[in-house]
Amino acid sequence: MSRMQVNNELTLPGRLGDPTRILETDPRSDPRLIAALEPLGLDGAAAAVAVGPDSPLQAKLDYLATTEDAMQGLFASLTADLPPINNVERRTETIRGHDRNEIKLYIHQPLNAAGVLPCVYHLHGGGMVILTGADAAYRRWRDELAALGLVVVGVEFRNGAGKLGNHPFPAGLNDCMSGLKWTFDNKDQLGISRIIVSGESGGGNLSLAICLKAKREGCPEQISGVYALCPYIYGAWGEPGKELPSLVENDGYFIDCRLMSITAAAYDPERRNNANPMCWPYRATIEDLRGLPPHVISVNELDPLRDEGLAYYRRLRAAGVAGYARTLNGTIHAADVLFPQALPEAHRATIRDIKGFADSLQI
């Protein structure tokens, strides 16, 4: 476990060393991030709410609907003043999914591209229960990836709650698999050489789960690599275990275990899939992981989810899976995706790293 020096005394980091510590008072925090969060009231302790994982399902769904509205407004404000990206063309394809439902695919391609290009198959965040691929932050993310020379396909999958709910597991995962199959079957039309699955938070969960599912269903060739950012994969945040100290160390830093346990309860309301790696990839065994394509696991130092991502990375390595992990110091959950103006260098570095990973893979 990492330690840090404060006032010449050795202490544990974050709330492990001081249970009253908040993001603003943690000396590891990037001050630019604190400056961006302070006007929003997000630099301190998480607000108390009456809803918990054992509340009635409708109460949790109502709370998540309100949370979705607030987060969509926040994320839109974080990208509102960015300059436009003009060298990308965009279109929407509507396909029929595994469950005979309609699925929108948002396709972003660089203008006047020559030859085939790698594809990033993008799955948005929101704990698999809120937010949408049409949200401003995700439109911008896809544009920035495409502007670097990638074909990007974003999936509008069904959520466990919110505007695109209420469709618990495995509805969203089924949609992601349907969109992947369509993308793979249309590689020539799209000018795609290979497909890298990527997403942050809940999208990181789905990125890992879809790779496990592709192996289980006998179509692993559809995925050449996975780039999962701050993956939300543990599933038991109501009772965090000692093997994941970041759940205590960074609890309440932008996100907290209470919120994550509520979203988990909406994704799998009857909790029948606590041990199912398709639902919670943290439960994957070394044998489940053996033979998977290369993975990158990217985490944020001040994220409660940091250690579950790193634990998954270590299990990948034990299974002989190629790849690497990276940690962005001083940053909160998904900060390199969601705070492009406050943390421009981190934002650009992650975009470049995804592009570099995609370019490095064999067809």
DSSP 74-118: HHHHHHTTSPP--SEEEEEEEEE-TTS-EEEEEEEEETT--S-EE
Condensed to tens digits (0 to 9), the pLDDT of residues 133-187 reads 999 999 999 999 999 999 999 999 999 999 999 999 999 999 999 999 999 999 9
From first CA to last CA, the distance across the chain in angstroms is: 39
**What is the bridge-based pairing of β-strands 4-6 and 9-11?**
antiparallel
Instruction: Encode pLDDT of 33-44 as tens digits.
Output: 999 999 988 888
- pLDDT band, very low/low/confident/very high, at 8 (cuts 50, 70, 90): very low
**Is 50 exceeded by the pLDDT of residue 6?**
no
pLDDT at 9 over 70: no
Among 52-56, 90-94, 238-242, 306-310, the range scoring the smallest mean pLDDT is 238-242
| Residue-wise pLDDT tens digits, 180-215 | 999 999 999 999 999 999 999 999 999 999 999 999
Res. 2: pLDDT tops 70: no
Confidence of residue 242 (pLDDT cuts 50, 70, 90): confident
pLDDT of the residue at 10: 56
Angle in degrees, CA 360, 156, 315, rounded to 5: 45
- Predicted pLDDT of residue 54: 87
The domains found in the chain, sorted by start residue, are 4-40 (no CATH), 57-360 (3.40.50.1820)
Average pLDDT along the chain: 94
* Cis before 166 (ω within 30): yes
Q: Please list the helix, strand and coil fractions of the chain in percent, rounded to the nearest 5, in that order.
A: 40, 15, 40
How would you classify residue 7: left for phi > 0, otherwise alpha for psi between -120 and 50, otherwise beta?
left
User: With bands split at pLDDT 50, 70 and 90, how would you rate the model's confidence at 363?
Assistant: low
Residue 64 is classified by DSSP as H
Chain centroid to CA 98: 23
One DSSP character per residue, 160-220 reads SSGGG----TTHHHHHHHHHHHHHHHTHHHHTEEEEEEEEETHHHHHHHHHHHHHHHTT-G
Q: Which has the higher per-residue pLDDT, 42 or 242?
A: 42
- Can you tell me which residue has the tokens 């949200």? 135
pLDDT exceeds cutoff 90 at 50: no
Angle at which helices 202-216 and 171-185 pack, to 10 degrees? 70
pLDDT in tens, 297-354: 999 999 999 999 999 999 999 999 999 999 999 999 999 999 999 999 999 999 999 9
To the nearest whole percent, how much of the chain has pLDDT over 70? 97
Grouping H, G, I as helix, E, B as strand and the rest as coil, residue 226 is strand
